Amino acid sequence: MLALLSPGQGAQKPGFLDPWLQAIPTAEARLRWWSVLAGVDLVTLGTTADADEIKDTAKTQPLLVAAALLTAECLPGVGAPTAERIDEVSVVGGHSVGELAAAALAGVLPAETAIALAGLRGREMAAACALEPTGMVAVLGGEESDVLAGIEAAGVHPANRNGAGQMVAAGTVEGLEKLAASPPEGARVRPLPVAGAFHTPYMAPAEQALASAAGGITPADPSRILLSNLDGASVDDGQEFLRRLVTQVTAPVRWDTCMRTLVELGVTGVIELPPAGTLAGLLKRELKEHGCPEIVAIKTPDDLPAARDLIARHGGAPSHEPSPQFRVSVAAAAGTFEPAAGLAEGDELRAGQVIGHVATRQGPVDVTAHDAGVLVEWLAHHDDPVAPGQPLARIGGHQ
């Protein structure tokens, strides 16, 4: 089984699209048209812009989505629309803004819509960053529970849970300085060159703007297994995935659970689209003890033969089988999570059953299972600090 992944912000490098424009005769014209939709000059950004210019959130986000969609067209199975071009891929996913490219590759959105939304998302998140000084830091190493507790103690948020001993915290400059001054045991804190606290409540104005635009979009249901950053689940309803794309602006990226789902699905081959390398590295580190899939990170057209060979050996007709049908229970408030006593993974749940509560300063807030099913996995554990909207448990529906 083959998966196609699209990276998120931070993966870009100066000039990374230049070899693609030289190799693809129609690439410049395509990028000129997409530039109109995105409101930025994608050709200049991908070829001659320097590192400072391409780390501007308003420019980086549409650039990354455009790069993924442009280069995906070079893989076998050329046709229209975009979703049919990668006809041997069974699973698609993206990290943060990479989810927009994944949505297009799964047929949920036309490529033009994904590009336009990436432009809007980038502009609105940049505007939200300007409202007050915020930022992000990478927290490397340490036990996950200790890291989460340290992040809460500093008054900041767990914005990205990337697995492989890597978490990203986001919040006020003062809070991040506090975290760096007193890092969790066994961890080190490294500042990230980003404009603000992405995937936290500080991005609420951007979420509202994106929701307003999304209201005018009619998505299609995905044509292949499409993973969500919210909880790593496969989403088979286009409208639900569009809703998740909007709320993901303020919700943590759970790339750790996305990687877990790749393993559960039995994925044997992975292709990372340009600017590739980041997600491939996380997979190799996270899954080295569990049998990592064979990976090709496409960086230049020189990597296409290896990608095509991987497709020939691991590809197959897209299918939603076996697709894990998950629902997620989330925290309604900030606090610490307490699972219900005696409830374990694998237990049957009934609709409305209380599976735990979030302890807050105002008292406990119940967490319930909205549908009947099986408790597949706890996503938070005893005394873990949680933020509003954070996934707490995955519940599998009855097949």
Which structural domain, as residue segments, surrounds residue 180? Answer: 131-191
Q: Are 254 and 94 in contact (CB under 8 A)?
A: no
Q: What does residue 120 show for φ and ψ, rounded to 5 degrees?
A: -65, -45
Which pLDDT value is given to residue 399? 42
Percent of the chain with pLDDT over 90: 67
Question: Quick one: 65 and 84 in the same domain?
Answer: yes
Main-chain dihedrals φ then ψ at residue 349, nearest 5 degrees: -120, 150
- Judgement on whether residues 167 and 205 belong to the same structural domain of the protein: no
To the nearest 10°, report the CA torsion of 371, 339, 161, 192. Answer: 130
Q: Please write the tens of the pLDDT for every residue from 216-254.
A: 999 999 988 999 999 888 888 999 999 999 999 999 999
CA distances from 268 to 17, 284, 290, 314, 392 (A): 28, 13, 12, 7, 28
For 48, the token pair is 């001659």
49 and 106 inside one domain: yes
User: 121 and 217: one domain?
Assistant: yes
**pLDDT for position 191:** 92
Q: pTM for the whole thing?
A: 0.79
Helix (H) or strand (E) holding 128: helix 111-129
- Is 369 among the domain residues? yes
Q: In terms of domains, do 297 and 330 share one?
A: no
pLDDT at 13: 94
Residue 137 has a pLDDT of 95
Instruction: State which residues of the chain have pLDDT below 70.
Output: 76-87, 290, 317-327, 332, 388-389, 397-399
Q: Which helix (H) or strand (E) holds 289?
A: none
212 and 113 part of one domain:
yes
pLDDT at residue 176 in the model: 96
Residues 26, 103: one domain?
yes
Residue range 115-171, pLDDT digits in tens: 999 999 999 999 999 999 999 999 999 998 899 999 999 999 999 999 888 999 999
For residue 196, tell me if it sits in a domain.
no
Q: Are residues 62 and 151 in the same domain?
A: no
With tokens 């969790």, the residue in question is 184
Residues 136, 124, single domain; the answer is: no
Residue 164 CA to residue 259 CA, distance in Å, equals 10
Q: Which of 199, 234, 314, 357 is catalytic?
A: 199
Beta bridge partners of 6: 94
CA distances (Å), origin 52, targets 18, 20, 59, 193: 17, 21, 11, 10
- State whether 223 and 300 are in the same domain: yes
* Known catalytic membership, residue 157: no
Catalytic residue (one of 6, 90, 96, 323): 96
Q: Which of 257, 284, 314 is the last residue of a domain?
A: 314
| Single residue among 314, 345, 373 that ends a domain in this structure | 314
6 shares a domain with 68: yes
pLDDT at site 325: 52
User: How high is the pLDDT of residue 148?
Assistant: 93
Report how many domains make up the chain: 3
Q: Confirm whether 96 is a catalytic residue.
A: yes
pLDDT at 388: 60
Does residue 227 share a domain with residue 159?
no
3-state helix, strand, coil in the chain (%, to 5): 40, 20, 40
Question: Strands 91-94 and 2-6: what pairing?
Answer: parallel
